[in-house]
Structure 1
Amino acid sequence: MLASSLPPRGWWPLGVAGIGLLGATLRDVTARCRFLLGALAGATLLTVGLWWATGLHFGGGIVLIACQGLLFGLIGPLVNPVRPWTALTGAVVLVEALRWRWPLSGLPFASPVLGQVDAPWVAIAPLAGSLGVLLVTAAVGGALAAGLAAGRGKAITMAAFSLALTPFVLSGPWPVSVENGRADVVRVAIVQGGGPTGTSAATGDPAVPLRRALALSADIPEETDLVVWAENVIQVSFPFEDSDVAASLGVLAAENHTTMLVGVTENDDALGEVPRFRNAAVVVEGDGQVGDRYEKVIRVPFGEYVPLRDLLARVVDLSRVPRDAIVGEGPPTVQTSLGTIGTVISFEAMFPQRVRAAVSAGGQFLVVPTNASSYVGPDVPAQQLAGARLRAMETGRAIAQAAPTGYSAIIDPDGTVRRLSQLGSGEVLTGEVMKRTALTPFVRFGDGPTLLAASVFVGVAWAPTAYSRWSRSRSMYSISLD
């Protein structure tokens, strides 16, 4: 059920039911059994949600799924088997928060919250972020399961729906922005070059995406303020400013009187024995000059770099990841003639805290250059799109997402997808995004309040058990003294 709630299927009610049934299985069993049941549920969910990783390396993908499943299994020991429903609400949130941060940089893909992007309680996202959405999801699922278990389904169901309406009450007084008017509108053109999916950067011709993007950019509508190219469209040697491509883009930007934000991969093999590269989003202003840049900070493990490369190279084939990305620095923004643009590159857009940092640093709207062309099928692009919609709602910022083969999209601050490309097609998406400066409560306070609430749920569930054990031990001590 949890797997069926994930994009591209997106049957969100099954995610609610799946969490509730998981809680039901954890009732009246040992801690070891609860861990194994949680790990089994996680392995099933992640086999569906992360199967695309086996396309990069089959063995590595299987190991990834197994390790992530074991992390998911930690939900079980956190749940009190006597009263599982309260603890379940907090345990799901705490374990997902861990999975988004560890190991390495974390992995927010295949998270149950991605399946809740169309649920009614997603309205709580500006207040409490994606973890807040997940907290309500787990609470509703647990309440429904508790009602069925207790034979009071009707009453508990009504209580659960009342709980589901709570986010609307809570999020009502928190407007995400106060700006409006034509002066704050940016006219955007997103260039998706198109082409087949399943094309690896290590084996594909790097000139092909550039040619496609240049061809489509010749038809940019007049009065376009910002043209966005996808991640990795341009591949040059470091530095980009001195390349022929930079000169050509300068001419293109000047002819169209527009600002361009383009995805650039810069090979820099002078930094060590292992070839290195920089993954950057670079500004080309309307006067033809190369402007500000942002270099990707959160890299894809085993996609953009290989941890313990020297050791792993002895036992596995690493030819599909021949180079390691250089870690960028600084806030995820670029300064342009249009103002400050929050810029997060591909994988980074799945991390709420990274996008929150972009808005906190002054990003008035968000641009996400991404690249899922290495993967076959819609799973990765669909999960990325769901993540982008959640980021828009959390931060109250419009998003322009550009991908070489899809999905490219223009997303409103309320998560509505206003423009969406087709997978594999070559097209230019045009639309308007609003520049905003107001901050949502999530941007101001982050995940801290939600993590505290989740901890309280777990603590409250275990408190009677802990008190009972303490009382019994005290009674035994008194008996022994007598």
Structure 2
Amino acid sequence: MRYLQASSKLRQLGPSLLSAILFWMAFFPVNWPWLGWLAFVPWLVGIAGQSSKQRLYSSLIFGLCFYGLALNWMRVADIRMVATWAMLAVWAGLFTVILGWVVGKIYDRHPKGGMVLAFPMVIVPIEWMRAYALEGFPWYFLGHTQHDTLPLLQLAELGGAYLITLLVALVNGIFADLWLGEKPECLLSFPLHRKAMGVGLAVTGALWFGYSRLGPTEFNEGTEIAVLQADHPQGIRNSAGAEQVRVEYQEMIRTLFQSHLRPLVLVWPETSYPALVDITDLDNSKWLPEKEKPNGPSQLLGASTIVEPKGEPSKQFNSAVLFDPKGIPIDHYDKIHRVPFGEYVPLKDWIPFINVLAPYDHDYSIAPGERLTRFSLPYSPIPLVFGAAICYESGDSHHFRSLAGGDGKPPVDFFINQSNDGWFHGTEEHEQHLLLLRFRAVETRRPVIRAVNMGISAWVDAYGRVLRPKEISGSPNEKTARIFTITTEELPTGEWGKFKQNTVVLVGPVPKRVNGIPMGWARLQGSWPGFFALGCVALIVFGGKQKARD
């Protein structure tokens, strides 16, 4: 009897565990994107024959297993982050529970529609809600598995990563329906055959659109930017003296100048400048450029900043501060989208013991920024404007769309992303973080330049290509920093890892933006999944009678 019970539970949990492992393998460190097209099939087949209670259980196992594996890199940041890792895995796993329950309800009420209707209809709004609920967690979307399939990646221009999720979910759904066919002749029945043809046409149309939109990488000549990438684990950044960090960055800059490269701007990673920068009066000042460009570059610092208004409490920010070659501040951007526990402790006034999940014992909270800054590239021969995104704002598609004109203001020409990934010690987090920016580049048709402590710093063109750096032969002081220039070739994902946990300086011109769809339509990139959510409600409320299950 016990053997039969164990066998029954294994049959119930086996498909969920298999799907979780297949889905995890579609991402880094394995990075087999083809698994994304079938990873959900075992789970969908399993829940098709289950009761509502069994579906909740199977979906919870799927969610906990997948996110436990996928977020494994969080635990290396700090021993106290193990609890945060577990909490986020449970939080994200709850969305999988909702996914399984709603998919099952629609499948029961509309069995003729099959999984090819139910699964895509539900997973798109579920990912959308996960991206915005509380502070949001827009990582590990089904569509993200196709980041390295450039023709499909171009769909993000029309509907963001959600549209790619929809396409991949359609294929998972039709495979599940084919598997669920009980008789061989069912595979050739007209309704199922028609569905399969429809999915095939959708994939073909997506590939046609992608190939038609792809073009070569082109640069804006004379707009060279240099990115500084140190290799400082967070523990060293916390314990090392400010002077030591300053000396290492100054040595990197000295090595760059010895190579005779002369960029317009030096970009530092997030919070890498080893001093607190006072920006109290910066918003009230006006910078006037000199008629002739001074010797030396401007600098975009990643810095902790402070504002101390008279008669009011001081505030600290995580900022990008642009200085001209003489050290005069031009403008700044203060990070808006803060990371829970990383940059503030949520609900600490309501739940005192929640501080045990924080990586520091002291109050390290920063205030959120209030405006999207549009920086002018100083002394550029071509007038260019860029927007900044700090750290995990790389996952906030709304942030990028707004700067690209979605907020009704003049659009930027490119983006700079500053980040500190020194917490994660060379794990797959570095690659996962970079792949998000491939989607942001295509969604806005604007290139992204990254400066990341411990890597992976990169140039991403408007088609989502990560461009290959080429090392300068005979670079001076190679033991201190290796110098690379950016080429128009694509860097394969298998070589991304070579540029993490290294001290390097990347130098290259700004890639050209590409004319995309009108921003009036592009604003729908972030809202159309909401209509799918309404569709799910309608299918459940106004659908047919639910089938009885044992």
Q: TM-score range by the shorter chain?
A: 0.7 to 0.9
1:191 paired with 2:228, answer yes
Deviates most, 35-44 or 330-339: 330-339
Match of 1:247 in 2: none
Partner AA of 1:422 in structure 2:
F
Bigger mean CA offset, 437-446 vs 65-74? 437-446
Aligned-pair CA distance for 1:398: 0.9
Q: 1:33 to 1:206 in 2, by over 3 A?
A: farther
2:219 and 2:510 in contact (8 A); partners too: no
Distance in 2 between residues matched to 1:315 and 1:94, nearest whole Å: 30
In structure 2, do the counterparts of structure 1 residues 92 and 275 end up closer, same or farther at CA, with 3 Å as the change threshold?
A: farther
| Cα distance change, pair 109–205 in 1 and its aligned pair in 2 (3 A) | farther
Q: Secondary structure at the match of 1:100?
A: helix
Alpha-carbon distance, 1:2 to partner: 0.9
CA distance in 1, matches of 2:534, 2:213: 24
- Give the equivalent residue in structure 2 for 1:392: 441
Deviation (angstroms), 1:191: 1.0
**What CA distance in whole angstroms lies between the structure 2 residues aligned with 1:315 and 1:386?**
32
- In the alignment, is residue 211 of structure 1 matched against residue 241 of structure 2? no
Q: Structure 1: how far apart are the matches of 2:373 and 2:528?
A: 24
Could you tell me which residue of structure 2 aligns to residue 90 of structure 1? 121
2:207 aligned counterpart, secondary structure: helix
TM-score by length of 2: 0.74
Structure 2 residue runs of 5 or longer lacking an equivalent are 1-21, 109-113, 283-288, 470-495
Following TM superposition, by how much is the alpha carbon of 1:313 offset from its aligned partner in structure 2, in angstroms? 4.3
Letter of the aligned partner of 2:159 in structure 1?
Answer: A
SS at 1:383 equivalent: helix
TM-score (norm 1): 0.83
Letter in 2 for 1:334: F
Q: Distance in 1 between matches of 2:344 and 2:536?
A: 37
Q: 1:180-215 CA deviation, whole Å, 9 max, x = no partner?
A: 7756x62121111224x3537544544444332221
- Counterpart of 2:401 in structure 1 is 356
Aligned with residue 425 of structure 2, among 354, 366, 376: 376
- Whole-Å separation in 2 of the counterparts to 1:460 and 1:165: 30
One-letter amino acid of the counterpart of residue 428, structure 1:
V
Match of 1:299 among 331, 338, 344: 338
Q: CA–CA distance in 2 between the matches of 1:315 and 1:137?
A: 38
Is 2:270–2:452's contact at 8 Å kept on the other side of the alignment?
Answer: yes
1:50 positional shift = 1.4
- The aligned counterpart of 2:87 is 63
Change (3 A) 1:133 1:72: same
Note if 1:164 corresponds to 2:197.
Answer: no
Residues 94-137 of structure 1, C-alpha deviations (whole Å, 9 max, x = no match): 1111111112x111233333322023522211111111111111
1:308 matches 2:382: no
1:66-77, aligned counterparts within 5 Å? Answer: 66-77=90-101
User: Which residue type is aligned with residue 108 of structure 1?
Assistant: P
SS for the counterpart of 1:397 is coil
Secondary structure of 2:543 counterpart: helix
2:107 maps to which residue? 81
* Structure 1, unpaired ranges of 5+: 244-249, 470-482
| Distance verdict in 2 for CA 1:34–1:441, change over 3 Å | farther
Contact between 2:306 and 2:316, CA under 8 Å: does it hold in 1? yes
Letter of the aligned partner of 1:140 in structure 2?
Answer: V
Partner of 1:234, secondary structure, is: coil
User: Which amino acid letter does the alignment assign opposite residue 511 of structure 2?
Assistant: M
Q: How far, CA to CA, are the matches of 2:277 and 2:325 in structure 1? A: 23
In 2, the alpha carbon distance for the partners of 1:325 and 1:377 equals: 26
SS of equivalent to 1:429: strand
2:15 is matched with none
Of stretches 148-157 and 79-88 in structure 1, the one that deviates more from structure 2 is 148-157
1:135 aligns with 2:166: yes
What is the distance in 2 between the residues matched to 1:292 and 1:399? 20
Q: Matches of 1:140 and 1:161 in 2, distance apart?
A: 8
- Mapped pair 1:333 → 2:374: yes
The 5 Å alignment of 1:219-298 reads 219-220=256-257, 221-239=260-278, 256-266=295-305, 277-298=316-337
Equivalence for 1:344: 389
In structure 2, the partner of 1:440 is 517
Alpha carbons of 1:257 and 1:237: their partners in 2 closer, same or farther (altered >3 Å)? closer
Candidates 442, 445, 466, aligned match of 2:543:
466
| Equivalent AA in structure 2 for residue 112 of structure 1 | L
The residue aligned with 2:472 is none
Asked whether the equivalents of residues 159 and 526 of structure 2 are also in contact (C-alpha less than 8 Å), the reply is no
Does the 8 A contact of 1:192 with 1:404 survive in 2?
yes
Are 1:48 and 2:69 matched, yes or no? yes
Q: Distance in 1 between matches of 2:173 and 2:343?
A: 39
- Distance in 1 separating the partners of 2:173 and 2:514: 38
- Cα distance change of structure 1 residues 329 and 290 upon mapping to structure 2, 3 Å threshold: same
Match of 2:365 among 307, 324, 335: 324
Please list the CA deviations of residues 125-167 of structure 1 after superposition, one character each: whole Å capped at 9, or x if unmatched.
Answer: 1111111111111112112222232253996766544322222
Task: After TM superposition, give the deviation of residue 259 of structure 1 in Å.
Answer: 2.7
Alpha-carbon distance in 1 for matches of 2:71, 2:308: 32
SS of the residue 1:432 aligns to: strand
Counterpart residue number, 1:100: 131
SS at match of 1:407: coil
The counterpart of 2:50, out of the listed 29, 41, 45, is 29
CA contact (8 A) 1:3 1:44 kept: no
Which digits, 9 at most, give the CA deviation of each residue in 1:393-442, with x for residues without a partner?
11111111001110100111111111366212111112222343744357
What residue identity is the alignment partner of 2:30? R
Contact 1:129 1:446 in 2 (8 A): no
Q: C-alpha separation between the residues in 1 aligned to 2:274 and 2:307?
A: 11
Paired residues of 2:167 and 2:203 also in contact (CA < 8 A): yes
Q: After alignment, is 376-385 or 332-341 more displaced?
A: 332-341
Q: Distance in 2 between matches of 1:357 and 1:110?
A: 23
> Would the aligned equivalents of 2:220 and 2:510 in 1 still touch at CA under 8 Å?
no
Equivalent position amino acid for 1:322 in 2: D
Report the Cα offset of residue 263 of structure 1. Answer: 0.5
Alpha-carbon displacement from aligned partner over 1:318-353 (angstroms, at most 9, x marks no partner): 452631011101115323434321111111011111
SS at match of 1:466: coil
Change (3 A) 1:293 1:278: same
Distance 1:15 1:438 in 2: 30
